[in-house]
Structure 1
């Protein structure tokens, strides 16, 4: 799901040159702004700020490194150098994702029959490769591309949707996997396909229900998963500590409930984003746009990173909420956006 980091200067230039429906707000208009723990958001912002290759961001990032990491100082920093901007028309659509933690084997054996593949050397970005159905039916078998084997095809599928994960091998070692590329097919929502087929209504669809349906109906369930032809390949990451989050689209670790995946056509990677998520578990919190995803499209669209493991998966899997998403942009950039220049 996670796309590799691209040149941020290009995205920033496109945003600055393209007029978008936008509204500048005061910080007082952000619901719950003063109650957030801004120092946590500043730490997340500093993880990737140096990667934003645009002239108006560079001095801000340099000054951010010297801000004392207490909430009052961090809030003052954001208020001094940024303007809140609503791009597009709310309500937003918020979903959630997480880093799975699964059991696996380095070789095919016993219950471990479902492979995770490394990127084939002949795959080129921007080209269309074998579909999910073709790969599941053996298009890559016997080539030694398997990184690990899992015991459940639905776990393979959702690991690809999340784009990263931790695999606890049968020998007790833990392997960290990250996104290495995709097969070039457009992502199609399995949940929307279930609604189209009439097996579920939209309010019944969640990650948990998709998993339950596929496990109850292994034959039709496998065919249902093939309705999404997109397929993700992985790479093994040996540089992360156990406390580190997975690698996002900017090539750095992301942070639980402080990082979001966004559509970089409308939200610059690395930018702070104020999240006002409604629904059963409301969120009012400053996060940072540090990831992307094949299903994350639009101005008011964000996928919230909920952390690692089964508990994070339970929390993320039911999120499908409205609300409002507000970008924090350098002041000159915010006003230039309104003017389309």
Structure 2
């Protein structure tokens, strides 16, 4: 999965899927960010509230991880520029892929925004920020995972692109036992990611949105997205029978799976954080101040402009759209 999504082509001969932009109505799938600016504006309103309520002082950065073209951090920065332009903040993306850094820089230039790209946590730590407020949208489901079936894990043959199951590693079995997982996907780097994030600044917050469950389903959810259609890798969610045809599209489709929020929550608790919230997306956006952000928007841009955009809000909060399928979460150490 790491090679499929992020690889340089050295192992399987195909450049990873995420080296080019694939998100949006014209891409393979769309996200909260594709719906419009209100999602980013609501996040901006919430982050501004945090800054004010906690009287944060010193050097502060808002950093998006997994930004693709850079639209979400751009919407957040645009909100701050219009809502409270006097705040001294830095806006950055953390992006290791050069191809996406170039796409993001083009977005920032086109939108006339002062946003920088940084390549990794070490470079971010060297900036010596006092506070970093991280944000992400559909980042966790893009972490490479291992596939567990009872005490075995999946391996792929790079010549035949066939799966075989062999005894799972000790590390994987420890995580499976800890989180009561017998069948499913396990992101092995969740704990190291949370630690690296926490080490990047004395005080930090990680705010994100993703889809998944609060406890393990003990069933496979790994699936492939292309042209707004999805297909499951496994023919039955509790057996090892799989669709080999899907594996022949190496690097050409997105791979995703349902996030185990219990595992990620524990990762951030172990990194010294505490849970601020973990709710369905519609509840999260409302509690973050969606209505207050909308009132501000009407006052600043007028009711007519708001009405042109308001229909998109239903996609974000409707139970039949993103509202119940997605979760919002925040972990922080202050």
- What TM-score results when the alignment is normalised by the length of structure 2? 0.30
Counting helix residues as a fraction of each chain, which structure ranks higher?
Answer: 2
